Structure 1
């Protein structure tokens, strides 16, 4: 016969009113989500502890770890950051703040193993400075949001200034570390992180992301590093503003470095560096049978790098690479039996027929086609149309009927 296990269950106030649990008897608080077990000595031992309210702790060099940490005075504050972290329950469902006063703390800030729907903030200075110095910063195995702001890391020569491992959400800001080190300024492993306004100098790597990590960095500074940003093993490093530099530059070995936004999967994933344009054409007439007439450009719907010249009705390539050209031209009341031909010109000479269409019955018929062309910087592309019947008018619109799209493919 199965044994029935009974829990004392209710709010934390009800549990206190009940009195101590019997030895081995479990109790669960429905409001604070804590689990206790009676220890037989008139007290309840917490098995899973959780926060019950927002709280702020204070740390000062003149404090004492025997204090409560609840007052920003020598008689109330903790002396070490580690003590303040140790009194925070592992299950964080509220906002926990640890305020650290100026001074040198001979310890590693270690925020590890926290979960819950709340947030932990360990805060020092409001800007990059050396007013609050620690050995290093470590965040490991956190599933709640953790934030560290405003510290100077006097990192030992072989470890990282900031390490974030197996954490789903972290924010690091205003961290300074300039001591020579074979480690990284910021090392991100199996984690998602945002980091802002940090200064990392004289490191082997300023920012290192590995093992499918995602790191967004903003307004970093620093020099004298061997490498700037490095992304490996399916990681992504996205940056905005200034970045820390390295003598070897940046590196993406089986990872992605993205500084301006991804536009395609071919590798140079910055829209500011890739030629892309969409242009609508003005109305024109194929006056003479069999003669090619250039499609006049009426205006660009978009033009990523200023490659479109409406004055000359051409697209001027900025990069070396393969360009894809797609165009369409619609003839107004094109006579039956007419053949419309579309031709791509490169540098003023015919390059390739893009399309040729036979008009079976009088009406608005069009020619449209796509082709690819290898270009060098300064090469220019134009699209021409010829009609076997003279006087055919090619409709010009706002891009709905007659247009040219050009983009660098590789």
Structure 2
């Protein structure tokens, strides 16, 4: 005979449930036989309750029949009645079959009994099922037969570590527990949907290569556990693992995203491929790429999120590659990219730390409204400080490689091809400066000429964007020979403005290849 003294959270083995199920089936068979014998007093139905099987004592009095469904009264502990329903299956499948499947796949060796609601005349079974869902079975009387319905709920908290699988050939009706077409989910969103809000364990979602046309959003997960969404193992392979964009919002659990390429940066995500918003927990984005052309888009954007790490990622062709704002804290390590307008931005009391990163952009770094940028463990980038010289626009070059002939009264371009310093890569071709940051620039230069005729005048000139802008120096010599012309000026340059250096002489002459006398320096002030 089946066990009848069940307690809260007891474990039901397959043998127990088979015994219980067999008793249910035996009783149903007896009821059917009893119903057919309508001429016997004990087979009569109750006139007060038509179509309800009743039993009578030997004296002919009605006896209240106790259905197996009332077994719930033996068990204590309510199951939360406000869980999100994933799906409900109704039918007359045998109890043994359903429970056997649960026991075979559940995290535990059995299924625990709980009472769902004292007002229900039904027996409820509660199991942590595959996919971390809650299974509730309800036995109910319908037209003199028992039907076993089960409902899957997402529980409020994790019970164990969980690994899920997503494949483009999967199916969202699968349980996600195996890396096969018949076991994996088809979408990443389906895997996220079965994660409880309280995560106290490690949740790992392994995503197979492919393009997933979906936004991946993790919102409101709390607890001491972690959620990891894993694609490629290296940035070079992330091109094979693609989805639209990523959002992490209001999570206290540890969030890790690894090995994906982003396809979009939608407006509702602040035009960002990676959007970390109001997220108090740690977020790490690793081995990812956002390289599509978006002149008004952002690669990675953190708002009111204190602990964000962007590691070994590539961000190209964006208005802002990395933006940190509203008291956020971010570390950008080993980041690369080309074609961006601004590489790094910190605003509104945010702190952005840059480690071993090289992003090509018009503006390397920008900070305002209390934002702070720290570069390779140096001190603050903005406002400018003596210990942050390597982050400033600065060029030193000398004229040492090839002499330049200056015909009479022909303004001729000069070459300073030997580079001493070029912090931001602004000196190109040995004779041109292209500004990567906007602001006033101090320009100083010198050129030494040889074989200058007595009484001739020589000039050192700068052009801005192809237009004669300044005469740095002008010398009229009294005797033939060498003449050195030098000077300095301040010029406000916008990003992309070009400075060229020219010389002019009223009598033909030639430059002297001596870096001590023919040199230039440019720095932003």
TM-score > 0.5, shorter chain as reference = yes
* Correspondence list, 1:328-347, <5 A: none
Q: Per the alignment, in what secondary structure is the counterpart of residue 191 of structure 2?
A: helix
Report the equivalent of 1:218.
333
Report the equivalent of 1:161.
273
Q: How far is 1:243 from its partner?
A: 3.1
Which of 244, 252, 274 pairs up with 1:135?
Answer: 244
Closer, same or farther in 2 for the Cα pair 1:138/1:157, shift >3 Å?
Answer: closer
C-alpha separation between the residues in 2 aligned to 1:262 and 1:45? Answer: 54
For the 8 Å contact 2:355–2:377, the answer to whether it is kept is no
Q: Per the alignment, in what secondary structure is the counterpart of residue 64 of structure 1?
A: coil
C-alpha separation between the residues in 2 aligned to 1:237 and 1:90? Answer: 30
Q: Per the alignment, in what secondary structure is the counterpart of residue 228 of structure 1?
A: strand
Report the equivalent of 1:194.
309
- As a proportion of its length, which structure holds more helix? 2
**Quick check: 1:258 aligned with 2:370?**
no
Per chain length, whose mean CA-contact separation is higher, i.e. which structure has more relative contact order (CA < 8 Å, sep 6+)? 1
**Cα deviation per residue 1:101-156 (whole Å; 9 max; x = unaligned)?**
00000001111111100000000001123101111111111111100000011115
Q: Per the alignment, in what secondary structure is the counterpart of residue 257 of structure 2?
A: strand
For the 8 Å contact 1:260–1:269, the answer to whether it is kept is no
**Cα deviation per residue 1:40-61 (whole Å; 9 max; x = unaligned)?**
9988997961111001000000
C-alpha separation between the residues in 2 aligned to 1:269 and 1:238? Answer: 16
C-alpha separation between the residues in 2 aligned to 1:251 and 1:10? Answer: 61
Structure 2, gaps ≥5 residues long? 1-6, 12-75, 78-111, 121-125, 141-149, 391-525
Report the equivalent of 1:17.
113
For the 8 Å contact 2:9–2:114, the answer to whether it is kept is no
Report the equivalent of 1:179.
292
For the 8 Å contact 1:177–1:185, the answer to whether it is kept is yes
Closer, same or farther in 2 for the Cα pair 1:160/1:19, shift >3 Å?
Answer: same
Report the equivalent of 1:284.
none
C-alpha separation between the residues in 1 aligned to 2:10 and 2:350? Answer: 44
Report the equivalent of 2:257.
148
C-alpha separation between the residues in 2 aligned to 1:230 and 1:23? Answer: 60
Closer, same or farther in 2 for the Cα pair 1:206/1:62, shift >3 Å?
Answer: same
Closer, same or farther in 2 for the Cα pair 1:11/1:246, shift >3 Å?
Answer: farther
For the 8 Å contact 2:381–2:388, the answer to whether it is kept is no
Give the number of the structure whose alpha-carbon radius of gyration is greater: 2
For the 8 Å contact 1:104–1:132, the answer to whether it is kept is yes
C-alpha separation between the residues in 1 aligned to 2:225 and 2:252? Answer: 10
C-alpha separation between the residues in 2 aligned to 1:10 and 1:246? Answer: 63
RMSD: 3.6
For the 8 Å contact 1:59–1:69, the answer to whether it is kept is yes
C-alpha separation between the residues in 2 aligned to 1:95 and 1:225? Answer: 37
Number of aligned residue pairs: give it: 262
**Quick check: 1:87 aligned with 2:203?**
no
**TM-score, normalised to structure 2's length?**
0.45
Closer, same or farther in 2 for the Cα pair 1:269/1:117, shift >3 Å?
Answer: farther
Q: How far is 1:17 from its partner?
A: 2.4
For the 8 Å contact 2:154–2:195, the answer to whether it is kept is no
Q: How far is 1:92 from its partner?
A: 0.4
**Cα deviation per residue 1:313-364 (whole Å; 9 max; x = unaligned)?**
xxxxxxxxxxxxxxxxxxxxxxxxxxxxxxxxxxxxxxxxxxxxxxxxxxxx
**Cα deviation per residue 1:249-279 (whole Å; 9 max; x = unaligned)?**
21001200001336589944685759xxxxx
**Cα deviation per residue 1:195-220 (whole Å; 9 max; x = unaligned)?**
10000100110000110000001000
Structure 1, gaps ≥5 residues long? 1-8, 275-410
* Correspondence list, 1:282-321, <5 A: none
For the 8 Å contact 1:260–1:271, the answer to whether it is kept is no
Q: Per the alignment, in what secondary structure is the counterpart of residue 339 of structure 2?
A: coil
Report the equivalent of 1:247.
362
